């Protein structure tokens, strides 16, 4: 993933640059916006140059989605991006107004004004280039720069959005563009925990966690950071500091593995709910079959997670995979025509499953991690339907009703 910066050989050395992103809950009300403004003021008064990215206030984006859904079952993605980008335009202006009211000069910019150029993939666009000219000018005029998160424009000047939660990515991409060492992400939790503290008693806050662990946790639904923000941070060596805007406590630093301060086997246990398992029996064992099936699903933007294929017997095998439950209605016709075309058995669908995962770079150097996880499930009579592993992750597909117990017991077993 590369990011082009314009103007090209621009060399501004800004040692005192701070890049911060405030999420929806941090700017949910005018009082909270005042709180954020005061926080920014303290950095500004210390002589820092501050670039701030904000999300839409509170649940604004969801409310905008609801409005569109009242008018159409299938609104065009271009118009959805036009609509959803308005949420951030409100919050950047309000924050600039709040800053000016306390004597801090500030200027807000939409994505198109700072030329955050993306591809044309509406609702899930990728940032390709950022032009820092206007930001540098505003900073040199002594202003706090406030940029709308989550949005950009494509090369035809259509407004695009980066996918839900995408303001994190706007912030880290800006930090990378401006050469900042760190990007502070203010959210409603005060760091990255070993498990959801609302679900697991004794969940522990990490001082540091690696990019790779964070990427796995993000894709497992531990929605603290937008996954692409972590990819940018990793590629450009930006440390992400996840922290709360409601207190001054240090949060969690997302760093490269050599900067890790903890040495533990498992750093996070997560549950991904609202998943479904699909099993296709008697699939002919020949080249191109899996490409056909998963190609058709990806064309409809269906995110497939765990995939297991049995080894062939009598020229047939079984393919099982998990996917979001909400996409089943789109997947079913694809599965049906695949089954007919390839004369497989009937697809079997279980829409009451969950995926429980343990993540940790420490797995690379500690033995017995998988065994500990399987034993925690076995001791609680929880059946494992599918298993998948990577170098730093083990995932098990289990019954949804057992998910919460599984989470607690696995967390306990790893003595995090
Ligand atoms: N406002 C957008 C959303 O709710 C982007 C963000 O919050 O990061 O998804
Ligand atoms: Mg977020």
- The reply to whether 233 and 351 lie within a common domain is no
pLDDT at 9: 52
Measured from the CA of 226, which atom of ligand 1 is nearest?
8
Q: Is the pLDDT of residue 8 over 60?
A: no
- The reply to whether 233 and 366 lie within a common domain is no
List, for residues 254-288, the tens digit of each pLDDT value. 999 988 776 678 999 999 989 999 999 999 999 99
Query: Does ligand 1 lie within 6 Å of residue 208's CB atom?
Result: no
Q: What CATH number corresponds to the domain at position 386?
A: 3.30.2130.10
Q: Could you say which of 260, 294, 328 is where a domain stops?
A: 260
Q: Could you say which of 239, 260, 281 is where a domain stops?
A: 260
Ligand 2 centroid, distance to 236 Cα (angstroms): 21
Ligand 2 centroid, distance to 223 Cα (angstroms): 7
Query: Does ligand 1 lie within 6 Å of residue 149's CB atom?
Result: yes
Query: Which residue range is the domain that position 355 belongs to?
Result: 269-413
Q: What is the mean pLDDT of the chain?
A: 93
Query: Which position has the higher pLDDT, 111 or 187?
Result: 111
Query: Does ligand 1 lie within 6 Å of residue 28's CB atom?
Result: no
- The reply to whether 305 and 161 lie within a common domain is no
State the angle between helix axes of 211-219 and 227-236 in degrees (0 to 180), rounded to the nearest 10.
Answer: 160
Q: Could you say which of 197, 228, 260 is where a domain stops?
A: 260
Report the run of H or E that residue 94 belongs to, with start and end: helix 77-101
Query: Does ligand 1 lie within 6 Å of residue 164's CB atom?
Result: yes
Query: Does ligand 1 lie within 6 Å of residue 279's CB atom?
Result: no
- Name the residue of 52, 58, 166 whose CB sits within 8 Å of the most ligand 1 atoms, as the mutation to test its pocket: 166
Q: Where are the alpha helices (DSSP H) in 284-402?
A: 289-299, 328-342, 369-379
List, for residues 328-385, the tens digit of each pLDDT value. 999 999 999 999 999 999 999 999 999 999 999 988 888 889 999 999 999 999 999 9
Ligand 1 centroid, distance to 172 Cα (angstroms): 15
- The reply to whether 210 and 243 lie within a common domain is yes
- The reply to whether 247 and 357 lie within a common domain is no
List, for residues 311-326, the tens digit of each pLDDT value. 988 999 999 999 999 9
Using pLDDT thresholds of 50, 70 and 90, give the confidence band for residue 218. confident
Q: In what order do the strands lie in the sheet with 239-244?
A: 106-109, 144-148, 49-54, 17-22, 182-187, 239-244, 252-255, 208-210
Least confident of 94-98, 107-111, 154-158, 189-193: 189-193
List, for residues 125-153, the tens digit of each pLDDT value. 999 999 999 999 999 999 999 999 999 99
- The reply to whether 294 and 159 lie within a common domain is no
DSSP single-letter state for residue 59: T
Q: Is the pLDDT of residue 54 over 70?
A: yes
Tell me the ligand closest to 164's alpha carbon.
1
Mean pLDDT of 52-66: 98
Using pLDDT thresholds of 50, 70 and 90, give the confidence band for residue 12. low
**Strand 17-22, strand 49-54: pairing:** parallel
Query: Does ligand 1 lie within 6 Å of residue 61's CB atom?
Result: yes
What one-character-per-residue DSSP string does 162-197 give?
--TTTHHHHHHHHHHHHT-SEEEEEESSSS-BSS-T
Using pLDDT thresholds of 50, 70 and 90, give the confidence band for residue 4. confident
Please tell me the pTM assigned to this model. Answer: 0.88
- The reply to whether 150 and 22 lie within a common domain is yes
List, for residues 160-196, the tens digit of each pLDDT value. 999 999 999 999 999 999 999 899 999 988 899 999 8
pLDDT at 261: 72
Query: Does ligand 1 lie within 6 Å of residue 167's CB atom?
Result: yes
Using pLDDT thresholds of 50, 70 and 90, give the confidence band for residue 2. low
Q: What CATH number corresponds to the domain at position 163?
A: 3.40.1160.10
- The reply to whether 66 and 200 lie within a common domain is yes
Ligand 2 centroid, distance to 164 Cα (angstroms): 8
Tally of domains in the chain: 2
């Amino acid at each position: 993933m590369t990011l082009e910066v314009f103007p090209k050989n621009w060399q501004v050395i800004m040692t005192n640059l701070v890049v911060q992103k405030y999420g929806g809950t941090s700017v949910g009300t005018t009082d909270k916006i005042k709180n954020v403004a005061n926080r920014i003021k303290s950095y500004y008064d210390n002589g820092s140059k501050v670039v701030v990215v904000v999300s839409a206030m509170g649940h604004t984006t969801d409310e905008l989605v609801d409005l569109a859904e009242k008018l159409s079952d299938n609104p065009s993605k271009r118009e959805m991006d036009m609509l959803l980008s308005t949420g951030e335009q409100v919050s950047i202006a309000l924050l600039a107004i709040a800053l000016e009211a306390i004597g801090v000069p500030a200027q807000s910019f939409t994505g198109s004004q700072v030329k955050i150029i993306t591809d044309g993939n509406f609702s899930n666009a990728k940032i390709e280039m950022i032009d820092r000219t206007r930001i540098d000018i505003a900073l040199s005029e002594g202003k706090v720069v406030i940029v709308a998160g989550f949005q950009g424009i494509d090369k035809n000047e259509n407004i695009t959005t980066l996918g839900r939660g995408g303001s994190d990515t706007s912030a880290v991409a800006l930090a990378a563009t401006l050469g900042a060492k760190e990007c502070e992400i203010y959210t409603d939790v005060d760091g990255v925990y070993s498990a959801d503290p609302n679900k697991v008693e004794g969940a522990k806050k990490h001082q540091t966690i690696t990019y790779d662990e964070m990427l796995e946790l993000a894709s497992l639904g531990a929605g603290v950071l937008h996954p692409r923000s972590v990819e940018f941070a990793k590629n450009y060596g930006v440390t992400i500091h996840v922290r709360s805007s409601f207190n001054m406590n240090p949060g969690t630093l997302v760093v490269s593995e050599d900067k890790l301060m903890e040495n533990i086997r498992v750093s996070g246990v997560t549950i991904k709910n609202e998943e479904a398992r699909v099993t296709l029996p008697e699939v002919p064992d020949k080249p191109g079959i899996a490409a056909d099936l998963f190609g058709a699903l990806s064309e409809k933007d269906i995110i497939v997670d765990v995939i297991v294929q049995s080894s062939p017997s009598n020229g047939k095998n079984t393919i099982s995979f998990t996917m979001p439950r909400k996409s089943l209605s789109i997947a079913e016709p694809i599965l049906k025509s695949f089954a007919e075309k390839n004369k497989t058995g009937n697809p079997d669908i279980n829409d009451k499953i969950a995926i429980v995962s343990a993540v940790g770079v420490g797995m690379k150097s500690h033995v017995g991690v998988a065994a500990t996880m399987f034993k925690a499930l076995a001791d609680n009579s929880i059946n494992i339907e599918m298993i998948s592993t990577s170098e730093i992750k083990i995932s098990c597909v289990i019954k949804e009703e057992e998910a919460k117990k599984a989470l607690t017991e696995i967390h306990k077993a790893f003595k995090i």
